[in-house]
Amino acid sequence: MAHSRTLVEKSHLLHTHPLSQSPLVPIYKLIAFVAFVILSATLLFTIHDNGRTSIFPSGSIHSLSSEFCPQTMVLVPRANHKLWLNAGEEFNTMAFKASAIHWLSGAIQIETETYDDMGPVGEDPRWENRLQFHDYLEKTFPLVHTYLKLEKINTYGLLYTWQGSDDSLKPSLLMAHFDVVPVNPDTLSDWAYPPYSGWFDGELIWGRGSTDDKGALIGIMGAMEVLLRHGFQPSRTLVAAFGFDEEGGGYYGAQELAATVLNRYGEDSFAFVIDEGGGFAERFGTVFATPGVAEKGYVNVELSVSGPGGHSSIPPEHTTIGILSALLVELETHPFEAHIERNTSSYHLFQCFAEHGTAISPTLRDAIRLSASSDEALREVEVLLFQDPWYKSLVGTTQAIDMVRGGVKSNALPEQAWAVVNHRIATTTSVNATIEHDVALLQPLAEQFELEFSTLGKKISIPGGTPKGNLQLTRSFGMEPAPVSPYKGDASAPYQLLAGTIKATYNAHRNMPGDSDNIVVGPGMPTGNTDTKYYWPLSRSILRYKHLNGGSSNNYLTGAHTVNESISADSLLETFRFYTTLILNADESEEF
């Protein structure tokens, strides 16, 4: 995206270089110069009457350095370049580092846990700690609360609006959530520091929510506070929506926030929506950032086996728990087949690995390249990549038996046994196809155990004689795979802006040359679902990205939802730089 800007700067250097004024310039250099100016003129951005600029070169928004994984150029704010530099200098100070650590530490110390059994807002008192978090934000970020409009949606959801001066520009929307998963009391002794201490040990800030997702929320708030302190006033309206029950599905928080925003602005009214998601990490010898452009579907399948009770001294051949165990083993020994499809974002990410991974094996690199036109090579890619279960889980539909219950006493036959199987549904299939797979797999066993089998209120099979029990398959929640956000072609301007921002942030934070390509951006897909499921109507470009360093791990969620969740102070500082760069870049773009 910053390709045109680079050409402008180079053209300016040619015009001002001493040799350009010298009569001794060789004729071939003069010819080359004229050719360069003509080429530059075809690519230079257009300056419009309103003073805004087009950030993409005419005809293409990619560099031509790669056939299968073209990269966006580094994108830094231009009109607000001095402000961006000044903010960057502030982020480098020890005073700001101390403030940033204090901001997040204080946020962690407020125990905003979400439980699966929480009742409606206004009825369940466990929601009320959210008000403490509201008060904390108001005291911590006074400028944001002075100059932005704040609305509290369904009591605890936070909706900030930073009104821009140009209503013709689509607004942008940043998301985060401030609730956290509960801490298991049995694990307290396993924590290096208490989970709600917000302790800073000189390198890491420890505590529940540090990475999921209070770090991102504090990053957004802090970036806005810094920009206000430097006198920035946006042209493009910026909306920030913070949910309070994402860990419970977002039913009371994000769903109500999204409905409010949709009612106010209408469908497809936002340039982009950005929520938590993929980060960046080293893979195959290269640092890759993977903004999520897609999201798997989701369904919970509940299996319930019922049968006659009685005294355990006279047991049947199979108790309900035994039958349920056989059903679950059948599911686990027959997982969904996983295949790589060429028209998916995951396949295009693999192409990025092949094009830019410096340490990828020649065999895998060649197989990925050949797979664009060879089915045999595509199957070879599956064999090679699926040796790592992370890649197989990324591509296919998964199943996880997460809950099981049965029996009330050791000498009483269990009259019912129950389990929940959580499926994350591949982007190439659907909720119905997933349930049909489970039904087809379990029906023979239902017949073997002489169970009456019903699903979704419909009887699937009835034994010839008297049933020995019942098997019911129901679903408690279902969500289809998300629409894929454009990440290539003319509609991909928001993705390209995000990619250029990632590169600029990465370079600036490490004092690398501004135009050097030190991080590769490819289309990703988070392994979990986010609150964006309620925001689909608002924008075609819903991007799931958190500028968090995942190191060399394949798992960006390390520490989240488990013991010793933490974030490094350095990563936190980079988060402020990222959101600052993103807000300024988006404000200058007129591509959307």
Residue 158 in contact with residue 150, Cβ under 8 Å?
yes
The DSSP secondary-structure symbol of 531 reads G
353 backbone dihedrals φ, ψ, rounded to 5°: -60, -40
Q: Which of 179, 213, 276, 438 is catalytic?
A: 179
Q: Is 109 left (phi over 0), alpha (psi -120 to 50) or beta?
A: alpha
- Residue 102 marked as a ligand binder: no
Tokens 């355990």 found at: 312
The DSSP secondary-structure symbol of 475 reads E
Report d(CA 65, CA 504) in Å as an integer: 18
Which amino acid is it at 406? Answer: G
> Has 179 been annotated as catalytic?
yes
Residues 6+ apart with CB under 8 A from 417: 304, 305, 319, 320, 321, 323, 324, 404, 405, 406, 407
Q: Which residue, among 69, 2, 3, 63, has the nearest Cα to 356 in the 3D structure?
A: 69
- Torsion from C-alpha of 550, 551, 554, 556, nearest 10 degrees: -10
Residue 281 in contact with residue 556, Cβ under 8 Å?
yes
Report d(CA 259, CA 205) in Å as an integer: 35
Cis peptide preceding 531, ω within 30 of 0: no
- Residue 212 marked as a ligand binder: yes
- Torsion from C-alpha of 513, 515, 517, 522, nearest 10 degrees: 130
CA gyration radius, the chain? 27
Which residues in 15-37 are b (16+ Cβ under 10 Å) and which e? eeeeeeeeeeeeeeeeeebeeee
Tokens 């708030």 found at: 221
Q: Which residue, among 481, 388, 485, has the nearest Cα to 434 in the 3D structure?
A: 481
The DSSP secondary-structure symbol of 292 reads B
Which residues in 422-446 are b (16+ Cβ under 10 Å) and which e? bbbbbbbbbbeebbebbbeebbebb
- Residue 561 marked as a ligand binder: yes
> Has 225 been annotated as catalytic?
no
Tell me how far the alpha carbon of residue 239 is from its chain's centroid. 18
Report d(CA 392, CA 319) in Å as an integer: 35
Angle CA(558)–CA(360)–CA(492) in degrees, nearest 5? 70
DSSP string spanning 385-426? HTTSHHHHHHHS-EEEEEEEEE-S-TTB--SEEEEEEEEEE-
- Residue 247 marked as a ligand binder: yes
Q: Which of 213, 225, 246, 531 is catalytic?
A: 246
In SS3 terms, 42-100 reads as HHCCCECCCCCECCCCCCCCCCCCCCCCCCCCCCCCCCCHHHHHHHHHHHCCHHHHHHH
User: How long, in residues, is the chain?
Assistant: 592
Cβ atoms within 10 Å, residue 281: 19
Report d(CA 454, CA 443) in Å as an integer: 10
Binding-site residues for Zn(2+) sit at 177, 212, 247, 275, 561
Catalytic machinery residues: 179, 246
Binding-site residues sit at 177, 212, 247, 275, 561
